């Protein structure tokens, strides 16, 4: 199936890992990166890691393209992005299939990810006519003041494996409509999703006779990511991934006084109150906890349940978990596909082992391999069962994000205790409360409530729409991507004062008389 898509887009193996606009660069002596499908363990192909010489030439090409692109009117840039959105609509099935087979998320979720890409194209097209500044009154006669925004230049984008194209699009489409150009380093675990995406974008660039360097792709591991973080030619680095990775990027970029936009770990909780619609609550928890096999940054990892409904919740959860279908993610009946690779599976089992050794932890639904206990069985080694454990509050293991389908349940007695449990972790991405009690929902949303960047009422923690700014606080990094006014992060702000009088009064009434 993937072979036909590769053939359609002229993707061969080993494939060049570097692209400036439409030109694919290739260093045959470079290190090879291999891509394996978590679905069946098959080798999908290899690419050449970007060597330093290609990286530097790509950055110079990008800087040249920026001079051209920034001078195009914003509505023109929006029109190009509109065409990209149409092209992604045409290739929605092909791109979703590639995501499904290379990353392992279910086909339905993969279609949803491509739809996110399309939606952000639409959003950015509209934004092209709404990049507003501000005007204000000056204290000096015959003066006026205003603020405006200008593009930054080259934007570096580092993305994680779990959303191979959507998070890139959140950044790239907004950066482009603001007049920037982009250099993208995807996760080395999903290089072909990025190559396919770049080829689709390139079609639009070629048809519009646009210069190389507006859209650039480089491939590699942490070393290549470090080049982006260290590069003074890149004023903004947007990085999505683990907390340790984000701290490294922030430190390196900050040392050169660059800007970083970070989307890091999540340790998301749902509070279920006695006034909740329990049928709605269970559906929200189920998708939040097992969607993408627990590998979303917004995955529901903690469930904070009022003690009076605890046993009812457990009964319902066991019933719905028993109906979950694990298997090939291309089968549309499947709810859980595989984890990304055996390293991720190993971390899952490490966490299960810690939980089993804790006498204060109660196993409610056991995890383990879904099909085989033999990790050498490559066809089955990445498939695991979702697990549920009752824990006594936020014990140490709960405060660490395990990127896997493990759900922790704890109980509470009053809403203040529930909110305190919700906030008592280092991460601050997404949160939710399920309740029909207006007082409880408003308290959850108040300044004394959830400390997360996302706080939902009567929906789960997962499944953000592109219209709202996406991001979180604390160890999540503080960044905001996608909708709302997140575009301002991709621009530099400038205050302008214009004197249209024949005098030169100074601000604050200062006198500086010269005879």
**For 193-213, what is the mean pLDDT?**
96
How many C-beta atoms surround the C-beta of residue 37 within 10 A? 19
Q: Residue for token digits 């409610």?
A: 364
Given this model, what pLDDT does residue 513 score? 83
pLDDT for 376: 58
Report percent pLDDT > 70 for the chain. 98
263 classed as catalytic: yes
State pLDDT tens for residues 56-104.
999 999 999 999 999 999 999 999 999 999 999 999 999 999 999 999 9
Q: Which of 313-317, 336-340, 503-507 has the weakest average pLDDT?
A: 503-507
In total, the chain counts a number of residues equal to 515
Ramachandran angles phi, psi of 406, nearest 5°: -115, 125
The answer to whether 7 is a known catalytic residue is: no
Which one is catalytic: 100, 297, 382, 452?
A: 297
Give the integer Cα–Cα distance in Å for 360 and 224.
Answer: 44
User: What is the rounded CA–CA span in Å between residue 341 and residue 327?
Assistant: 15
pLDDT at 30: 74
Residue 122 has pLDDT above 60, yes or no: yes
Element (H, E) at 148: strand 143-151
**486-501 b/e with 16+ CB inside 10 Å = b?**
bbebbbeeeeeeeeee
Place of tokens 């529930």: 418
Chain centre distance of CA 324: 26
In sequence order, the β-bridge partners of residue 263 are 240
- Nearest to residue 471, comparing CAs of 221, 253, 297? 297
Pairing label, strands 259-263, 236-240: parallel
Calculate the alpha carbon distances from 144 to 14, 147, 177, 496 in Å.
59, 11, 28, 8
Q: Which residues of 71-100 are buried (b: 16+ CB within 10 A; e: fewer)?
A: eeebeebbebbbbbbebbeebbebbbbbbb
pLDDT in tens, 381-417: 899 999 999 999 989 999 999 999 999 999 999 999 9
When pLDDT is averaged across residues 303-330 and rounded to a whole number, the result is: 97
From 94, 263, 401, 440, the catalytic residue: 263
Round the average pLDDT of the chain to a whole number and report it.
96
197 pLDDT higher than 90: yes
**Given this model, what pLDDT does residue 22 score?**
82
Is the pLDDT confidence value at 303 over 90? yes
Tell me phi and psi for residue 251, to 5 degrees.
-65, -45
pLDDT tens-digit map of 224-280: 999 999 999 999 999 999 999 999 999 999 999 999 999 999 999 999 999 999 999
Indicate the DSSP class of residue 392: S
DSSP conformational letter for 51:
P
């Amino acid at each position: 199936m993937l072979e036909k898509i590769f053939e359609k887009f002229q993707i061969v193996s080993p494939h060049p890992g570097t692209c400036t606009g439409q030109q694919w660069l290739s260093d045959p002596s470079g290190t090879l990166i291999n891509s394996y499908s978590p679905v069946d363990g098959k080798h999908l192909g290899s690419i050449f890691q970007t060597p330093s010489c290609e990286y530097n030439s790509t950055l110079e090409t990008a800087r040249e393209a920026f001079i051209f692109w920034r001078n195009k009117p914003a509505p023109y840039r929006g029109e190009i992005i509109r065409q990209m959105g149409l092209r992604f609509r045409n290739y929605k099935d092909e791109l979703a299939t590639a995501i499904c087979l290379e990353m392992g998320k279910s086909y339905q979720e993969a279609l949803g990810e491509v739809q996110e890409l399309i939606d952000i194209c639409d959003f950015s097209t509209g934004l092209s006519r709404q990049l507003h500044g501000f005007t204000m009154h000056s204290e000096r006669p015959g003066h006026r003041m205003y603020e405006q925004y200008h593009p930054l230049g080259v934007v570096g984008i580092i993305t994680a494996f779990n959303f191979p194209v959507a998070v890139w699009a959140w950044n790239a489409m907004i950066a482009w409509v603001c007049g920037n150009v982009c250099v993208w380093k995807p996760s080395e675990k999903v290089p072909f999703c990025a190559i396919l995406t770049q080829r689709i974008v390139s079609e639009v660039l070629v048809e519009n006779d646009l210069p190389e360097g507006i859209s650039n792709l480089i491939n590699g591991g942490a070393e290549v990511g470090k080049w982006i973080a260290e590069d003074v030619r890149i004023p903004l680095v947007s990085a999505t991934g683990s907390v340790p990775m984000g701290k490294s990027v922030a430190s390196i970029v900050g040392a050169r006084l660059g800007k970083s936009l970070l989307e890091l770990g999540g340790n998301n909780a749902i509070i279920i109150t006695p006034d909740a619609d329990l049928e709605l609550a269970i559906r929200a928890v189920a998708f939040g906890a097992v969607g993408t096999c627990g590998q979303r940054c917004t995955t529901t990892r903690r469930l904070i349940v009022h003690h009076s409904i605890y046993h009812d919740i457990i009964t319902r959860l066991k019933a719905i978990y028993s109906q979950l279908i694990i298997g090939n993610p291309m089968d549309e009946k499947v709810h859980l596909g595989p984890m990304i690779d055996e390293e991720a599976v190993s971390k899952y089992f490490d966490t299960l082992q810690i939980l089993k050794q804790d006498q204060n932890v109660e196993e409610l639904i056991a995890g383990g391999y879904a099909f085989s206990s033999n990790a050498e069985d490559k066809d089955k080694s990445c498939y695991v069962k979702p697990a549920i454990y009752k824990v006594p509050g936020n014990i140490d293991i709960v405060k660490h994000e395990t990127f896997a389908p493990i759900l922790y349940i704890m109980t509470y007695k009053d809403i203040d205790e529930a909110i305190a449990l919700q906030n008592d972790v280092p991460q601050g991405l997404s949160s939710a409360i399920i309740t029909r009690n207006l007082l409880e929902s408003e308290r959850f949303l108040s300044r004394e409530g959830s400390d997360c960047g996302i706080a939902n009422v009567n929906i789960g923690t997962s499944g953000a729409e592109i219209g709202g700014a996406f991001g979180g606080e604390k160890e999540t990094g503080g960044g905001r991507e996608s909708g709302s006014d997140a575009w301002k992060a991709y621009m530099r702000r400038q205050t302008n004062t214009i004197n249209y009088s024949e005098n030169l009064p100074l601000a604050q009434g200062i006198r500086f008389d010269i005879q």
